[in-house]
Amino acid sequence: MKYTNPVIPGFYPDPSVCFANGKYYLAASTFQYFPGVALFESDDLVNWEQFGYALTRPEQVMLKNINSSGGVFAPTIRYNGGRFYMVTTNDTTHENFYVYTDDIYGEWSDPITVDQGGIDPSLYFEDGRVYFMSNGSDDEGKGGVVQCEIDIATGKKLTASKCIWQGSGGRYLESPHLYKIGEWYYLMAAEGGTEYGHMITLSRSKSVWGPFENCPSNPILTNRNKAPYIIQGIGHGDLVFDKSGNLFILSLGFRQIHMWMPYHNLGREVFLTPARLTDDGWIAAGLDGTTDESYEIAGDFAQKPIKEYTFASTDPGIDWCYLRTPDMADYTLTKEKYTLRGSSLTLDDVDSPTFIALRQRGFCFELCCDVGVTDGEGGITIYMDENEHYEIAVRKAADSYEAILRLNIGGIKHIQTAIPLEGSKARLCIEGDNLFYKFAVVSGDGSERRELGVGSTKYITSEVSGGFTGAMIGLYAVNGEAEFEGFALKYME
């Protein structure tokens, strides 16, 4: 069958995968959003369904007032002895920790910290021993991929931290994962930075402690010189064998908004690339060491399209997420209506405004929702971070109500349009494509449409805002209660 990349569209970066009980399970980064570490399952590596999060309790992860693109960095998910483990970094508190569960659909444990620095931690299990690795500096101050043996029950180090590989020469060595295939230990990592120079590199050794030799074909996977091409930034991958013994790499990557415009607004997404063992015992990926838009692989299953999002078709505990440390008493969420009670906090604050969001998962979409307020402001936002976001909203203005379009880019916060409303409720609509977001107020029967303005997608991108997240489609309220009904989000791709 033929599949198209990305296999998980939208802001789900740093994928890690394991196989257990006949299914594939995947974990992805969440940074300042809560709950933390999104979890997916699949029967075929192509169709993925999110079923929850690993960090669902505030005491599991400190997110209060953290900087955007801080918080929960790249996770690794592994399965051993009937138990799932997820190890990650809180980059704001500089802690590496793991949680575990015997029921991946249930709650995960409280965190267990490991006294080793760096980011992008990973676990490797073999013969009753557990090895913990990250990128950083070892106990002698040597930088690279650093490894120690730990007691998995307590997180206590059983050996000194030792640098086992310093990469192939690219900058920002990260995302180390260790595998045993045959007689070889393969150490795969990312280099080049998680931008346009991103790449996956490989080394191997016959000892878990090295020395590791570089693959002569490094990088084994990169799109850094594949131009002009929409798919860029391929890197930070994890290896997995499918049920038939075929090898694949699940990696992050991103799609430019246009072939000739190096901006990306959807965040770093999940791409699937076929791989194979070579005759000389190394690993090759893709048709030519790059990730393509589509591949033919064995199987008789079909790739499912992105679903349409309504309140009835989504689960607020799975599809939706919040900023940092939400007060759940401010949210009343049903299949018919979402009611948000807003404080004085706004989307400009590095805090937890009343905000609930979906990831933007495709370039082209249509979204409409009926929004009503009594006091304050409530609306829909296209949100990258506290500095870059667009919103269309209904707000109280003296003794009347108005619909507004506000564009926020860097330090510029500008109300583009404000039009009076006959009542306190309006149907707000957004149309998105690769280059623009178009904002409008539509009458209840759809017969009248009042355009409020346009925002360029390129200003809601990592190239403008910095950081590691992606565009979110959010509902918010400020200084009063807002009601949202008739929410309908449809993708055109």
Output the six-digit token pair for 211.
Answer: 């020395």
What is the model's pLDDT at position 411?
84
Q: Distance from first CA to last CA of the chain, Å, rounded?
A: 19
Q: How far is CA 19 from CA 43, 45, 79, 238, 472, in A?
A: 10, 10, 7, 12, 30
Per-residue pLDDT at 386 exceeds 70: yes
* pLDDT confidence bin for 379, thresholds 50/70/90: very high
DSSP, collapsed to helix, strand or coil, labels residue 458 as helix
- What is the token pair recorded at 253? 């990557």
pLDDT in tens, 148-174: 999 999 999 999 999 999 999 999 999
DSSP label at 64? Answer: T
Decide if 285 contacts 249 (C-beta within 8 A): yes
Query: What are the DSSP E strand ranges found in 242-353?
Result: 247-255, 269-277, 283-285, 294-296, 309-310, 322-323, 331-333, 337-342
> What pLDDT, in 10s, does the model give residues 61-77?
999 999 999 999 999 99
pLDDT, position 443: 76
| Whether residue 103 has pLDDT greater than 90 | yes
162: left (phi over 0), alpha (psi -120 to 50) or beta: beta
Give the largest Cα separation in the chain, rounded. Answer: 77
Which whole number is the average pLDDT over 213-235? Answer: 95
* CA distance linking residue 152 with residue 161, whole number of Å: 16
Confidence of residue 444 (pLDDT cuts 50, 70, 90): low
Q: What pLDDT was estimated at residue 366?
A: 98
Residues 304-325 have a mean pLDDT of 97
Model pLDDT for residues 174-210, shown as the tens digit of each residue: 999 999 999 999 999 999 999 999 999 999 999 999 9
Q: What pLDDT score was predicted for residue 300?
A: 85
CB contact set of 449 (below 8 Å; sequence gap of 6+): 429, 440, 441, 442, 443
Quick one: DSSP state of residue 59? G
Active site members: 14, 174
d(CA 138, CA 120): 15
R_g (Cα) of the chain, nearest Å: 23
Q: What is the mean pLDDT of the chain?
A: 97
Whether residue 97 has pLDDT greater than 90:
yes
Percent with pLDDT over 90 in the chain = 96
Does the model's pTM come out above 0.85? Answer: yes
**What is the share, in percent, of the chain residues with pLDDT greater than 70?**
99
Cβ neighbour number for residue 368 with a 10 Å cutoff: 19
E strand or H helix at 488: strand 480-491
Query: Both tokens of residue 387?
Result: 């500095």
Omega before 111 within 30 of 0, i.e. cis? no
Say yes or no to pLDDT of 33 above 90.
Answer: yes
pLDDT band with cut points at 50, 70 and 90 for residue 301: confident
User: Would the pLDDT of 132 be above 80?
Assistant: yes
How is residue 462 annotated by DSSP? H
- Domains, the chain, ranges and CATH? 2-296 (2.115.10.20), 309-491 (2.60.120.200)
**What is the reported pLDDT for 168?**
97
Sorting pLDDT into bands at 50, 70 and 90, what band is 137? Answer: very high
